[in-house]
Chains A and B, each alone.
Chain A
């Protein structure tokens, strides 16, 4: 009885969240290689030949800001694996709701030459991240993905709990080829159990990342590395326009925090008068920018030095989520392993769907207009790929606004359509039964 309930949960969760899990496994597998893909697609922006002398970062930033009077400095991304150049990120002073912008200016750090500019939201790299993280649904996309992570977690646990009962007297690896349902069921069990560890890890981290905002609110949590200056010495305008010596900030960070390789320099714009320098420490398995040095804008004195290795379990657990979810802690070989395993989650949803359809085959065959298995799978695959391609084209041409609007309308429009269809069917059924009662025999 207990196992029957577990099987029912496994069956229904898989059925209702399977499409999203397949979609997330495909987009997730691609999103793993974001920096590598960006480097291949934009070598003119990301690759330079190393030279002995470096240009002055401060002068470069000043020159760029004077060329873009309608924008202010958001952050500077420094060279790191897959990026040889300085990426100076600017934000528009006047924001447009439908066309948001983070303007990226790529600079050769040795000569100071501007190599090219782009809106980050129109880059293919951003598309890869956003399609996986938010499905391009602006309001609750991240939460929908988080719920899919939760569904995968429940599905993985229930799958493991009923595994023994379904194996009965068979041994691991024995695939029966009696019919499509049995063959798929055997593969579903073996791949599911082989990728159990990965699916557990990816679902827990995915659910956390997606539902983070709500969970942090519920548990009254703050970002572990958060540093807030209570007495703001500047106004927002003064803080934003504050002239900084970025070369000095960089060299101070190297001497004050030698273990950390600085990745991002981000000055505050809210009046706090601070410079946040985020970076990576070699050998850590935490989110790359979890280490931080905070400097005062006036004196360049250290306000906070945050090395995640020195923090407690809670902070470590917080910063391990993204690195573990995206396999970003052991270079390209781990990403390749993650990519293969990511497809296993998709396969499990797909094989589960095939098993379900084959199980109700006779029932389906009695119905009119039923689509056979193969065309049905082709229809869903083509639909999914078409959706990805359309969003990619829209995103790389118009940024985030237009595709988000389209996806949001489509998702909620579809949901509304399904509710109205259900209500119509219900009302029609009621009418027909009441008419049948009125008709004299």
Chain B
């Protein structure tokens, strides 16, 4: 018997997760670059560090969720990511 595939997850959520994951990865690299070029005594350092770590986690989470192939986890992952961008960027 042929296995069942969740077409909503496969055709829409996974491309969205991959696109968002790539965006999060680029953003994490940007914050890493800013963090590594900021002198230690500057006030922005913890903020940069926090964003760098959060976006790295978001990127990894998005890429991991594409392989899990669970519709609700994909939706939660995307919502979390977008919420983080909306509130902190």
Contact = CB atoms under 8 A, between A and B. Distances in A.
Interface of A: 160, 163-164, 167, 169-173, 193-198, 282-283, 285, 329-331, 333-334, 337, 341
A341 B19 CA distance: 13
A333 B69 CA distance: 30
B26 interface: yes
Interface of B: 2, 5, 7, 10-12, 14-15, 18-20, 22-23, 25-26, 29-30, 32-34, 36-37, 66-67, 69
Contacts of A341: 22
Contact of B33 (A167, A195, A331): A331
A197 B22 CA distance: 7
A197 B14 CA distance: 12
A334 B5 contact: no
Nearest to A282: B37
Given A171-B5, A194-B18, A337-B25, 15 more contacts: A169-B2, A169-B7, A170-B5, A193-B14, A196-B15, A197-B18, A330-B29, A330-B32, A331-B29, A331-B36, A331-B37, A334-B26, A334-B30, A337-B26, A337-B29
B67 A173 contact: yes
A283 B42 CA distance: 13
A167 B10 contact: yes
Main secondary structure of the interface of B (DSSP, over half): helix
A168 to B, nearest CB: 8
A195 B22 CA distance: 8
Contact of A160 (B5, B15, B23): B15
A337 B20 CA distance: 15
Given A195-B22, A197-B18, A198-B22, A333 B33 contact: yes
A167 B15 CA distance: 12
Contact of A193 (B7, B18, B23, B25): B18
Given A167-B11, A196-B19, A333 B67 contact: no
B15 A163 contact: yes
Contact of B10 (A160, A172, A329): A172
Nearest to B11: A164
A285 B30 CA distance: 9
Contacts of B30: 285, 329-330, 334
Given A164-B12, A331-B33, A334-B33, A169 B5 contact: yes
